[in-house]
Amino acid sequence: MATSSGTGSRYAAEFKSFVKETWLGYAFMLPASVLLGLIVIYPTLRGVHISFFEMSLLQPGQETFVAFQNFAAMASDPKFWNAFGNSILLTGVAVALQYLLGLGLALALKEKVPGVALFRSASMITWVLPVVVMVIIFRFMVQPGYGFLNIVLGWFNLPTSYWFGDPTTAFPLVVTMHVWRNVPFFAIALMAAMQSIPESLYEAAEMDGAGSLAKFRYVTLPQISYVSMIMIVLHVIYTFNNFDIVFLSTGGGPLGSTEVLATYVYKQAFQSYALGYAASVGVVMLVLLLAFTVVYVKLEDTE
C-alpha cells in the first residue's frame, strides 16, 4: 500500500508530465495549424464572405453588401448555366470513362504476361506529363495540314479540320484529354487493390463453382470498392475543379462550347473584374462538391 503522501506526489508528477506533454503536443501542432489557417481556412471563408458583396478589381477597397443578389443574378445568367451543364457533363463522362477504361487496363496489367512490367511503367507516362505539354501535343495532333490526326484522316479522304476550333468536336476532345491523362492512374490504383486480394478467395470461389465473370462480380469488384470510391471522389473533384486543361486548349470556346465553371469563374474575376460574382460561383462549386462527397461516402458505407 502506498502512503497518502506517496500517492499525492505520484498524482502531482503525473499531472505535471501530462501538462508538460500536452503543451508540447500543442506546440508541435501550432506551426502546421497556423499555416493551414492562413492558406486554407482564411481564403475559403474570405471567398464565401466576398460572395455576398459587390466587388470589383477596378475599385479596390469598395465593397457593397448585396446579400444574395449575386446568386440571384447567377440563376438568370445563361452563360453560368451553360458552364454549369458543361462542368457536370465533363465530370460525369470523363470520370465514368476513366473508371471503366482504368478497370479494363488494370485487369490486363494484372495478367502475368511477359513484358507487362515495362508496359506498366510506360502506361504511367500520360499521368506524369505536365498538363501544358499534353495540351500542346493534342493541339499539335489536330493541326490542319501537318497534325498527325488530320494526316491520318487525309489518307482515308476523310474531312480534316482544326478540331479544337469546331464547337461540336472541341468538347469531346477535352473529355478525351481528361481520360487520356487519368486512365493509367485509375489502372495502377485499381491494380494495386486487386493484387491485395488473397488468391485463396479466388480459389474458394472456384471451388464454389464460380466462373470468371462471377469471380469478378463477387470477389474482385467488392474488394476494390473502397479504392474505387477514393479514386472516383478524387477525380470528380479534380475534373470538376479543373481549369488548366480547358483553359490551355480552348479557353472555354469556341462559342462557350467548352466553358466550365472553373474557367467561367476566372473570366468573371479577372476579365470582367466582377470579384463578388466570381466568388459566388465558386461557392456554388464548393457546395456541389461537398454534397457529392457526402452522398458518395454515405452510399459506400451502406454497401
Q: Closest CB to another protein among 130 and 209? A: 209
Nearer to another protein, 218 or 266 (CB): 218
Query: Whole-angstrom Cα distance, residue 85 to residue 82?
Result: 5
Name the grid cell of 102: 482504368
Residue among 55 and 224 whose Cβ is closer to another protein: 224
CA gap 184, 126 in Å, rounded: 7
Question: Which of 63, 206, 244, 300 lies at the binding interface for another protein (CB under 8 A)?
Answer: 206
Binding another protein (rule: CB under 8 A), the pick from 6, 31, 209, 301 is: 209
Among 210, 227, 233, 289, binds another protein (CB under 8 A): 210
Q: What CA–CA distances, in Å, run from 117 to 36, 113, 158, 196? A: 40, 9, 38, 17
- Hey, which residues between 140 and 159 contact another protein (CB under 8 A)? none
| Cβ proximity of 184 and 100 under 8 Å | no
Q: Is 142 helix (H, G, I), strand (E, B) or coil?
A: coil
Q: Is 201 in the site for another protein (CB under 8 A)?
A: yes
| CA proximity to 74, closest of 83, 65, 61 | 83
Among 219, 262, 275, 284, binds another protein (CB under 8 A): 219
The answer to the question of residue 198 lying near another protein (CB under 8 A) is yes
Between the alpha carbon of residue 83 and those of residues 172, 173, 235, 246, the distances in Å are: 15, 17, 19, 12
190 part of the interface to another protein, by CB under 8 A: no
Look at the alpha carbons of 238, 243, 249, 252 in this order and tell me if their dihedral is positive or negative. positive
Helix (H, G, I), strand (E, B) or coil at 253: coil
Measured from the CB atom, the residue of 4 and 302 that comes closer to another protein is: 302
Binding mask 10-29 for another protein (x = CB under 8 A): --------------------
The nearest distance, CB 193 to another protein, in angstroms, is 13
The label of the residue with cell 506551426 reads: 31
The one among 222, 271, 287, 297 contacting another protein by CB under 8 A: 222
The C-alpha torsion from 5 through 11 and 14 to 17, rounded to 10°, is -80
Task: Give least dist CB 210 to another protein, A.
Answer: 5
Given the rule CB under 8 A, which of 48-56, 93-101, 153-161, 210-218 is the region that contacts another protein? 210-218
d(Cα 164, Cα 171) in Å, to the nearest integer? 8
Query: Minimum distance from CB of 301 to another protein (Å)?
Result: 13
State the residues that interact with another protein by CB under 8 A: 198, 200-201, 203-211, 214, 218-219, 222-223, 225
